[in-house]
Amino acid sequence: MARPATTLDDGPNAALLRRDALRERRALLGLASPAVILLMVVMVLPVGWLFYLSFIGEGGGFSLENYARMLESKAYGRIFVTTFQVSFLTTGICILLGYPLAYFLSQLPPRAATLCMLTVLLPFWTSLLVRTYAWLALLQRQGLVNTWAIELGLWDTPVALVHNLNGTLIGMVHIMLPFLVLPLYAAMKAISGDYTRAAANLGAGPTQAFWHVFFPLSLPGLFAGALIVFVLCLGFFVTPAVLGGGKVIMVSMQITNNIELFFNWGAASALGVVLLAITLLILFAASRLLRLDAVLGGGH
């Protein structure tokens, strides 16, 4: 009677493989330990300290008064509403402007697309503060936009384009637009032209091929770009502070006021914790929606 063949799952070979695997895992852990320690120091400890300060009341002891104040005060409610309003409007305008721009770039020859992409990347080469003050100079009552508009007869008197929601949206859209165009352009370039040509061979017109083939395949890139823009807008500070003129108060600006004006680190930390929790919740919900979109055919 023949003996059964020895497998690697039993006997001395299995023990040797397990020891080798254990040594390999320990070696990998040792190599990754500097990065893990750096991550703990740079990210985990500051967030933990922020979380701790949020429970410190004005008396110096443990208290929930910072969170209770946010629930009781209508001012905090208006600040969160303004933050989400600006973030949603900025993201929507970026989608309306960025999708046609990304589609146009994706249909250009490679050399022309590269040259045009430089104009999209150009804002990254200029300081955020400089760009914001440039818009302040352009949009003020005696600025270039109002001067040209009056000369062209578009309106008779200077229009308030800054120190309000309009100026804030203009500045934020200009700054956030590349963050939508770049991932969307990458997603569009990854779509093979064979798909639209196959749709044309099956009798679909250019419009039908775009909406039924190209647009669904570009949704993951659009979704990723919109998510980046929206999350960045939630914590934006410089542009609303300069172009809003104190009339558009977002969460980041209130955090600064709590520290600089009231020296209340607990209240500022509580706002930061709530904003962080909202951002993480949005990212979690977005990851679930993205997987659902891929199941429904939005991915490729």
Distance CA 118, CA 178 (A): 11
Q: Which range among 25-29, 34-38, 91-95, 200-204 has the greatest average pLDDT?
A: 91-95
**Mean pLDDT of the region 17-39:** 83
pLDDT confidence tier of residue 259, bands split at 50, 70 and 90: confident
pLDDT beyond 80 at 58: no
The arithmetic mean of pLDDT across residues 55-83, rounded, is 87
Say yes or no to pLDDT of 292 above 70: no
Cα Rg of the chain, angstroms: 27
Q: How far, rounded to the nearest angstrom, does the alpha carbon of residue 8 sit from its chain's CA centroid?
A: 49
- Span of 12-16, 115-119, 168-172 with lowest mean pLDDT: 12-16
What percentage of the chain exceeds 70 in pLDDT?
A: 92
Could you read off the pLDDT of 215-229 as tens digits, one per residue?
999 998 999 899 999
Please provide the DSSP assignment of 212-243 as one string: IIIHHHHHHHHHHHHHHHHHHHHT--HHHHHH
Question: Is the confidence at residue 269, as pLDDT, over 80?
Answer: yes
Q: Can you give the pLDDT at residue 233?
A: 93
| Confidence bin at 81 (pLDDT 50/70/90) | very high
CB atoms within 10 A of CB 30: 9
Query: Considering Cα of 196, then 199, then 201, then 206, what sign does the dihedral take?
Result: negative
Which tokens in the block code for residue 272?
Answer: 């930061």
| Domains of the chain, CATH where assigned | 77-247+278-295 (1.10.3720.10)
290 or 298, greater pLDDT: 290
| Predicted local distance difference test score (pLDDT) of residue 300 | 46
pLDDT in tens, 91-133: 999 999 999 999 999 999 988 888 888 888 887 888 888 889 9
Mean pLDDT over each residue of the chain, to the nearest integer: 86
pLDDT at 239 over 50: yes
How confident is the model at residue 262, as a pLDDT? 79
Structure tokens at 123: 């804002």
| Band of residue 296 on the pLDDT scale cut at 50, 70, 90 | very low
Position 170 scores a pLDDT of: 93
Beta strands in 88-204 (DSSP E): none
CB 170 within 8 A of CB 243: yes
- Report pLDDT digits (tens) over 141-166: 888 888 998 988 888 888 888 999 99
Task: State yes or no: pLDDT of 25 exceeds 70.
Answer: yes
